[in-house]
Copies of this chain bind each other. A is one copy, B any other.
Amino acid sequence: MRVIDNISGLKAIIRAQKAAGRTIGFVPTMGYLHEGHLSLARASVAENDFTVISIFVNPIQFGVNEDLDKYPRDFAGDTAKAESCGVDVIFMPSVQEMYPAGYSTYVELSGEITGKLCGKSRPGHFRGVVTVVTKLFNLVEPDKAYFGQKDAQQAVIITRMARELNMNPEVVTCPIIREPDGLAMSSRNVYLNTEERKAALVLSSSLFQAEAGIRAGERNAERILAGIVKNIKEESIAQLEYASLVNAETLEDVKLIKGKVLIALAVKFGRTRLIDNIAVEV
């Protein structure tokens, strides 16, 4: 496995792989790798001849009061984990390499798809995400790119962007990986103290309960959401940011559950903001 920190080095490797006719899989991450990331890396290694993982804490997807500066990093751990999965290249560029002085080009999606859910409390977040993903797709030229369902809105937006801009990579969305007690894996879980870690189970337990309700025949979105809100309010240190039930592809609000829907939550514990979701098809 090679660790590359500059664009020209990466491009030389990609050119050689392309010339040899090898397929390329790509896993973009912000590092501090956990089993969720590794499940993407393993899928890429299984389905492609050559796998690149990027580790880049992308400043333009963080708001001014967000956790850019304290976002957790672990270079040694990440390298060992990526290598154990069979990753071929880690691309770890500097901010200067990705956004030279005077940088000015951005990709954006208009409309509700980026303005609701996480987009509502994080203006500019998805612009930052799709811009860096566009750059990374152009650099890595993958046949397939892997994203986690944990960031459900991001996966929907990137899938749409790739289709609308006629990008070549196939966008693959992989299932959420959870801790044994149900908490969705996230690099930000490291921020939680013992009390918050315990309280954070309310996200997954509420979602599981909602799913069970739908499986039992409930089709009224308002009642499903009311149940979730009640659960979260009972957890005194949990501050609900949103609980939404939306069409899984368009992210439009759903009243009567039909087809594939997404139930998505954002909840804060102290200064730590966690998200989780579950997709249900009826």
Residue numbers of A with Cβ under 8 A of B are 7, 100, 103-111, 113, 130-131, 134-135, 138-139, 141, 160-161, 164-168
5 nearest A-B residue pairs (beta carbon): A105-B164, A138-B166, A104-B109, A135-B166, A104-B110
Per the bound structure, the CA–CA distance linking A148 and B105 in Å amounts to: 21
- Which residues on B sit within 8 Å (CB–CB) of A135? 164-166
Say whether A103 contacts B164, CB under 8 Å: yes
The smallest C-beta distance from A189 to any residue of chain B, in angstroms, reads: 32
Per the bound structure, the CA–CA distance linking A100 and B160 in Å amounts to: 12
Say whether B160 contacts A104, CB under 8 Å: yes
Per the bound structure, the CA–CA distance linking A106 and B109 in Å amounts to: 6
- Which residues on B sit within 8 Å (CB–CB) of A100? 164
The smallest C-beta distance from A54 to any residue of chain B, in angstroms, reads: 12
Per the bound structure, the CA–CA distance linking A106 and B108 in Å amounts to: 5
Say whether A105 contacts B107, CB under 8 Å: yes
- Which residues on B sit within 8 Å (CB–CB) of A161? 105
Closest to A140 in B: B166
Say whether B109 contacts A138, CB under 8 Å: no
Q: Which of B106, B160, B168 contacts A107 (CB 8 A)?
A: B106
Given A100-B164, A105-B107, A135-B166, 16 more contacts at CB 8 Å?
A: A7-B166, A103-B164, A104-B109, A104-B110, A105-B109, A105-B160, A105-B161, A106-B108, A106-B109, A106-B110, A107-B108, A107-B165, A108-B108, A134-B165, A135-B165, A138-B168
Which of A100, A105, A108, A130 has most chain B Cβ within 10 Å?
A105
Say whether B107 contacts A113, CB under 8 Å: no
Contacts A/B (CB < 8 Å), 6 sampled: A7-B166, A100-B164, A105-B160, A106-B110, A108-B108, A138-B166
- Which residues on B sit within 8 Å (CB–CB) of A105? 107-109, 130, 160-161, 164-165
Per the bound structure, the CA–CA distance linking A106 and B110 in Å amounts to: 8
- Which residues on B sit within 8 Å (CB–CB) of A108? 105-108
- Which residues on B sit within 8 Å (CB–CB) of A104? 109-111, 113, 160, 164
Per the bound structure, the CA–CA distance linking A165 and B104 in Å amounts to: 10
- Which residues on B sit within 8 Å (CB–CB) of A110? 104, 106
